[in-house]
């Protein structure tokens, strides 16, 4: 309301003068908000590339036989789609963009604990991305192993494995640096009075995530280094011909890559835990239960990696243990869903774009989560392993979970980040297209998988034709939705009406008390916290 007068004295972080000019004022800035936006622009660019690769695969699968590409090209494209989407988009996604931008503000700090390290982590990310993508252009052709780089094929194939593997290794460093920064920030820089149980839920999930980033990423780092060693020096770690055990590679790879799923989904859960109370205008139901379930997921999630390997020939004891732990880790996720639904109970709900994303998150996350139990059970897994069912499952979790939360987050925090507003009607239209397209794209794959269609083949038998056509059409509808959303957001950021209200949605967390967009150091004066973060009434 009184923004008119404050605008003259308060300078947005975008307009702050720096010793660098133009783009250099951004790529050398240690301001956490600028670093967050740098990540946003890089990640959205890679996301678009990933989507196009995915669309190409769906086009190939529209009819049996060769449609637009040969098998080798298809193998390369699903590998690149996986590498880009996992390592460049989803793993850094929410923490690096919204974590960087909002974590310090939400805990009442002026910046993260190590601002220079923060900027370095973005640079490391860019270098890692360039190294990984150089695999496309140098001789040998793009890698064709799938994003899992399974041994022994990953050191036998003649394609460009080294840049892809080294790129993933470097990206791991970026992830670790972000994790270190966030943990120290949350430990040391909380505003006075913000006890652990007054910490908002998005920072809580970032805290859990950061621990996984620190403790799991090194394992994949060393595993990828071993692959490099295999290729360069023929050491024999995972080569059965030299006495190595390829299943050990799978163990090491999934010791990281399963917790990585929780690196992806925990911050998404945090975003949903922010959006739902704001739009329900009601205090979150079971705050402590959500916090404890976050930490429980982070811990138990470290010990379920074997459920990716049920058909690999592991011992029976390991199979039972991993299956049991997989069912165990579903419990805290279900607790969260229960709490979100409980928050909505008897609430007066504002129906706005961010809420649509959050509500549809619940829908797709439930489908993804429950289909995960079908895969976590030993008997059904044997039938479903390596089928389209698995692809549908992890897209419902990773794309449905993280993607919907990301879209929700950007629509929720948009007025704070840009100080302008997007067109809400177009935003809702975009969501409708995306939601319908998403379900049309991935739901048929569950049925195809149960019916026996394997994943990672460019071809299939005639009887799978019908659902594949539906699925491909769904991909077009979803891409239409993505285009509508992107155009709307870019237009909003450039020409949208300037928001005069610091708190357009009526949120209670600290980011709604600072200017839109925030000033360089967010707060004139560090606030003193004397209430819980969701103190509605």
- Residues in contact with other proteins by the rule CB under 8 A: 11, 15-19, 25, 29-31, 110-111, 113-115, 117, 176, 179-181, 183-184, 187-190, 214-219, 221-223, 225-226, 229, 233-237, 242-245, 247-248, 251-252, 255, 302-303, 306, 314-318, 321, 519-521
Q: Which is nearer to other proteins, 238 or 396 (CB)?
A: 238
In sequence order, what are the residues at sequence separation of 6 or more whose Cβ sits closer than 8 angstroms to the Cβ of residue 142? 76, 79, 80, 135, 136, 159, 160, 164
Q: Which is nearer to other proteins, 10 or 491 (CB)?
A: 10
CB of 128 to other proteins, least distance (A): 16
56-59: list long-range contacts, CB under 8 Å, 24+ apart.
Answer: 57/81, 58/441, 58/471, 58/472, 58/475, 59/472
d(CA 260, CA 243): 29
d(CA 9, CA 492): 25
Strand partners, 454: 387
- Nearest of 463, 476, 470 to residue 445 by alpha carbon: 470
CB of 520 to other proteins, least distance (A): 5
DSSP structural state of residue 430? H
d(CA 140, CA 144): 11
CB of 229 to other proteins, least distance (A): 6
CB of 197 to other proteins, least distance (A): 16
CB of 8 to other proteins, least distance (A): 11
> What are phi and psi for residue 252, nearest 5 degrees?
-60, -40
In sequence order, what are the residues at sequence separation of 6 or more whose Cβ sits closer than 8 angstroms to the Cβ of residue 16? 31, 520
Q: Which is nearer to other proteins, 158 or 315 (CB)?
A: 315
CB of 424 to other proteins, least distance (A): 32
Q: Which is nearer to other proteins, 111 or 144 (CB)?
A: 111
Q: Which is nearer to other proteins, 194 or 275 (CB)?
A: 194
d(CA 210, CA 177): 9
d(CA 104, CA 501): 21
> Helices in 240-309 by DSSP H: which ranges?
246-280, 287-300
CB of 175 to other proteins, least distance (A): 10
Q: Are 177 and 116 in contact (CB under 8 A)?
A: no
d(CA 329, CA 297): 6
CB of 102 to other proteins, least distance (A): 19
Strand partners, 498: 420
Helix (H, G, I), strand (E, B) or coil at 139: coil
Reported in sequence order, the residue ranges of 161-245 that DSSP labels E, i.e. its strands, are none
CB of 269 to other proteins, least distance (A): 22
Distance of CA 523 to the CA centre of its chain: 29
Distance of CA 102 to the CA centre of its chain: 16
Q: Which is nearer to other proteins, 317 or 348 (CB)?
A: 317
Q: Which is nearer to other proteins, 218 or 504 (CB)?
A: 218
CB of 176 to other proteins, least distance (A): 5
Q: Which is nearer to other proteins, 8 or 348 (CB)?
A: 8
d(CA 192, CA 109): 10
d(CA 307, CA 314): 10
CB of 204 to other proteins, least distance (A): 17
Q: Which is nearer to other proteins, 224 or 375 (CB)?
A: 224
> What are phi and psi for residue 519, nearest 5 degrees?
-80, 175
CB of 528 to other proteins, least distance (A): 13
Under the phi-then-psi rule, with left for phi > 0, alpha for psi from -120 to 50, and beta for the rest, what region is 17? beta
d(CA 257, CA 26): 32
Q: Which is nearer to other proteins, 310 or 505 (CB)?
A: 310
Q: Which is nearer to other proteins, 295 or 487 (CB)?
A: 295
Q: Which two tokens stand for residue 117?
A: 């390290």
Q: Which is nearer to other proteins, 302 or 512 (CB)?
A: 302
Q: Which is nearer to other proteins, 105 or 255 (CB)?
A: 255
- Rounded to 10°, the helix 316-344/246-280 angle is 10
CB of 154 to other proteins, least distance (A): 16
């Amino acid at each position: 309301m009184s923004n008119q007068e404050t605008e003259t004295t308060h300078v947005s972080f975008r307009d702050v003068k720096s010793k660098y000019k133009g783009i250099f004022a951004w790529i050398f800035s240690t301001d956490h908000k600028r670093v967050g936006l740098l990540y946003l622009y890089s990640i959205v660019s890679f996301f678009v590339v990933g989507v196009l690769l995915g669309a190409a695969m769906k086009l190939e699968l529209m009819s049996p036989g060769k449609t637009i590409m040969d098998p080798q090209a298809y193998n390369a494209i699903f590998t690149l789609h996986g590498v880009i989407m996992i390592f460049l988009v989803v793993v850094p996604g929410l923490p690096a963009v919204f974590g960087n931008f909002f974590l310090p503000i939400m805990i009442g700090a002026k910046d993260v604990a190590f601002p220079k390290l923060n900027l370095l982590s973005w640079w490391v990310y860019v270098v890692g991305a360039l190294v990984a993508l150089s695999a496309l252009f140098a001789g040998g052709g793009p890698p064709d192993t799938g994003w899992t780089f399974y041994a022994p094929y990953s050191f036998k194939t003649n394609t460009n494995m080294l840049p892809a593997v080294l790129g993933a290794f470097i990206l791991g460093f970026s992830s670790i640096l972000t994790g270190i920064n966030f943990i120290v920030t949350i430990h040391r820089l909380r505003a006075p009075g913000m006890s652990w149980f007054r910490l908002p839920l998005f920072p809580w999930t970032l805290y859990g995530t950061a621990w996984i980033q620190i403790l799991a990423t090194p394992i994949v780092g060393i595993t990828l280094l071993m692959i490099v060693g295999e290729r360069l020096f023929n050491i024999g770690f995972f080569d059965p011909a030299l006495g190595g055990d390829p299943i050990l590679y799978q163990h090491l790879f999934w010791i990281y890559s399963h917790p990585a799923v929780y690196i992806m989904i925990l911050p998404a859960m945090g975003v949903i835990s922010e959006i739902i109370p704001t739009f329900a205008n009601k205090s979150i139901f079971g705050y402590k239960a959500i916090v404890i379930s976050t930490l429980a997921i982070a811990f138990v999630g470290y010990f379920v990696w074997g459920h990716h390997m049920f058909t690999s020939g592991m011992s029976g004891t390991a199979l039972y243990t991993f299956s049991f732990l997989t069912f165990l880790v579903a419990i805290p996720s279900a607790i969260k869903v229960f709490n979100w639904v409980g928050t909505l109970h008897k609430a007066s709900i504002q129906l706005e774009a961010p809420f649509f994303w959050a509500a549809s998150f619940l829908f797709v996350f439930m489908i993804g989560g429950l289909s995960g139990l079908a895969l976590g059970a030993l008997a059904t897994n044997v039938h479903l392993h390596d089928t389209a069912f698995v692809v549908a499952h992890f897209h419902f979790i990773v794309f449905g979970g993280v993607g919907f939360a990301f879209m929700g987050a950007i629509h929720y925090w948009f007025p704070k980040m840009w100080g302008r507003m997007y067109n809400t009607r177009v935003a809702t239209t975009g969501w409708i297209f995306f939601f319908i397209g998403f379900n049309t794209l991935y739901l048929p794959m569950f049925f195809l998988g149960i019916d026996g269609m394997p994943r990672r083949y460019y071809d299939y038998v005639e009887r799978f034709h019908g659902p594949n056509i539906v699925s491909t059409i769904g991909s077009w509808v979803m891409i239409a939705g993505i285009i509508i959303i992107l155009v709307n957001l870019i237009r909003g950021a450039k020409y949208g009406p300037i928001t005069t209200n610091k708190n357009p949605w009526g949120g209670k967390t600290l980011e709604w008390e600072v200017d839109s967009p925030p000033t360089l150091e967010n707060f004139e004066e560090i606030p003193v916290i004397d209430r819980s973060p969701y103190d509605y009434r």
